[in-house]
Structure 1
């Protein structure tokens, strides 16, 4: 009873009702909420604190930004999710409609920021893409390899612009898109708006995933493993959060000798061999089910699909264990 009273007290304010209506549409930062509501950040922060204490909204930090969303669990989540059916008065409905129009401007600014970021890095990215098979072929091969696997809750490690989360979302029940860069997550948030399944964007490191053991059904790591100085640890950490029978799909380069990618593009590893991936999979409790090479240009792309061995919920590779030879 006390918990329900806290929820209703928190909602007994016009501004907080507006906040709930906005967060039903998309995750927003405090500053973005302040712009839409035309109120100061300290005032908005106070309203958000009350909603968070009542369990109605959740806060998540990405770098210097704090993003907000409707709580996904607890009694308050069901109440807030159905906010669109609440009997607002004509005047209240008008205020919410005006907020929705200002929210469209926030969406537009996010898209513009993403375009500026792409423009600044387009030459660098295009130079790398031009050296291997078309990305559309890589995506088609990845989708084919995962078809019929039952993606369930999919984790996209190193999501970048969110492209993998975007193409796999239609076959998943839920997607968690993880990246260590707040800038990339903001771009992904713009790309992934309006998807038909719940998508969580999470800032985190692939060596220390902020997820529980055996909590994920499938994982994709697309062109991110070569940034790892200890790729065996990345695979072991992915296996830790993967349920028994779940799948891990890695797309990365085959071994090459282009040191320029190490110095210019921060690649820690110059591709991977089948033997390396098989050994790392085996140590992490994964069975290598298939491997595929996609030739084209001077950089070959490889796909490796591993399955978590049934009956194992934790990776046998401890962070203190001896590292496998590269």
Structure 2
């Protein structure tokens, strides 16, 4: 009962109701909220603290920014989902509509920042893309390889601009897009705001994923593994958070000798072989189900799809079946 009272006390303020209405639309930084509400940051921070203490709002730090979102777990999420049906007075409804119009300016500014970033880095990205098959072909191959597989809660490791989250959103139930760079996450946030599924943007390290073990249904690592000095540890961390029967798709370059990518683009590894990926998968309970090579240009792009072993894979029947397949193959 005390928890419920805390929730209603937190909501018993016009400004905090406006905050909740805004955060239902999109994640916002404290400074962005202050702009929309036309209030000082300290005052907005005080309201946010009350909402957070009541379990209504979650805070997440990305570099020097703190982003806010509505808590989605438990009874709070269900309560806030009904906010559109709350009996707002005509004056309150006008204020919320006014805030929504000001919120559009925040969306516009985010997109402008994203466009400036793309323009500044277009030459660098185009130089890398020109060395391999068209990205559209890579994406088509990825979608085909994951077709008819249950994505569920998808983790996009090294999301960058959020492109993988964007193309897999129509078939996932929920997406967590992870990147170390706060700048990249802000770009992705602007790009992904209109997607049809919940997308959580999380700052984190692929060597220490901020998720519980066996909590993720599927994982994509697209052109991010080559940045790892210890890629075997990235695979191990991915396997840790992947549930039994879940899929891991790694997309990266085949082995090459283009040292310029190491010196100019910070690639720690110059591609990976099938044997390397198969070994790392096997060491972490992942069965390599499918591979594909996309030729075209100086660099070949590889797709490796693995499935996390489940309890069924450990059953005597599964071992008998595997032994029979080996005997037939021999």
The TM-score, its normalising length taken from structure 2, stands at 0.93
Look up the match of 1:178: 178
Look up the match of 1:187: 187
Q: CA RMSD, aligned part only?
A: 1.1
Look up the match of 1:14: 14
Per residue, is there more helix in 1 or in 2?
2
Look up the match of 1:236: 236
Look up the match of 2:106: 106
3-state SS in 2 of match to 1:124 = helix
Checking the alignment, whether the CA contact within 8 Å between 1:70 and 1:81 is kept in structure 2 is: no
Look up the match of 1:317: none
3-state SS in 2 of match to 1:33 = helix
> Runs of at least 4 residues of structure 1 off by over 6 A?
none
Give ranges in structure 1 of 5+ residues lacking alignment: 313-326
Checking the alignment, whether the CA contact within 8 Å between 1:55 and 1:74 is kept in structure 2 is: no
Checking the alignment, whether the CA contact within 8 Å between 1:129 and 1:135 is kept in structure 2 is: yes
Distance in 1, Cα, partners of 2:140 & 2:75: 41
Look up the match of 2:322: none
Look up the match of 1:315: none
Give the drift of 1:187: 0.8
Give the drift of 1:196: 1.1
Checking the alignment, whether the CA contact within 8 Å between 1:292 and 1:303 is kept in structure 2 is: yes
Look up the match of 1:93: 93
Distance in 2, Cα, partners of 1:205 & 1:14: 38
Question: C-alpha offsets along residues 171-197 of structure 1, whole Å, 9 cap, x if unaligned?
Answer: 111111000000111111111112111
The residue correspondences of 1:70-149 to structure 2 (distance < 5 A) are: 70-149=70-149
Distance in 2, Cα, partners of 1:132 & 1:30: 41
Distance in 1, Cα, partners of 2:188 & 2:162: 4
Question: C-alpha offsets along residues 129-172 of structure 1, whole Å, 9 cap, x if unaligned?
Answer: 01100000000000000001111110000000000011111111
3-state SS in 2 of match to 1:118 = helix
Question: C-alpha offsets along residues 218-239 of structure 1, whole Å, 9 cap, x if unaligned?
Answer: 0000000000000000000000
Look up the match of 1:319: none
Look up the match of 2:68: 68
Give ranges in structure 2 of 5+ residues lacking alignment: 313-330
Distance in 2, Cα, partners of 1:169 & 1:75: 25
3-state SS in 2 of match to 1:214 = coil
Look up the match of 2:159: 159
3-state SS in 2 of match to 1:5 = helix
Distance in 2, Cα, partners of 1:283 & 1:77: 39
Distance in 2, Cα, partners of 1:287 & 1:66: 39
Distance in 2, Cα, partners of 1:58 & 1:173: 21
Distance in 2, Cα, partners of 1:116 & 1:61: 24
3-state SS in 2 of match to 1:24 = helix
Look up the match of 1:266: 266
Distance in 2, Cα, partners of 1:81 & 1:279: 45
3-state SS in 2 of match to 1:15 = helix
Give the drift of 1:77: 2.1
3-state SS in 2 of match to 1:96 = helix
Checking the alignment, whether the CA contact within 8 Å between 1:61 and 1:67 is kept in structure 2 is: yes
Look up the match of 1:300: 300
Distance in 2, Cα, partners of 1:275 & 1:230: 16
The residue correspondences of 1:40-55 to structure 2 (distance < 5 A) are: 40-55=40-55
Number of residue-to-residue matches in the alignment = 313
Look up the match of 1:213: 213
Give the drift of 1:311: 2.7
Question: C-alpha offsets along residues 238-274 of structure 1, whole Å, 9 cap, x if unaligned?
Answer: 0000011111001000000010100000000000000
Distance in 1, Cα, partners of 2:231 & 2:11: 47
Give the drift of 1:63: 0.8
3-state SS in 2 of match to 1:166 = helix
Distance in 2, Cα, partners of 1:258 & 1:152: 37
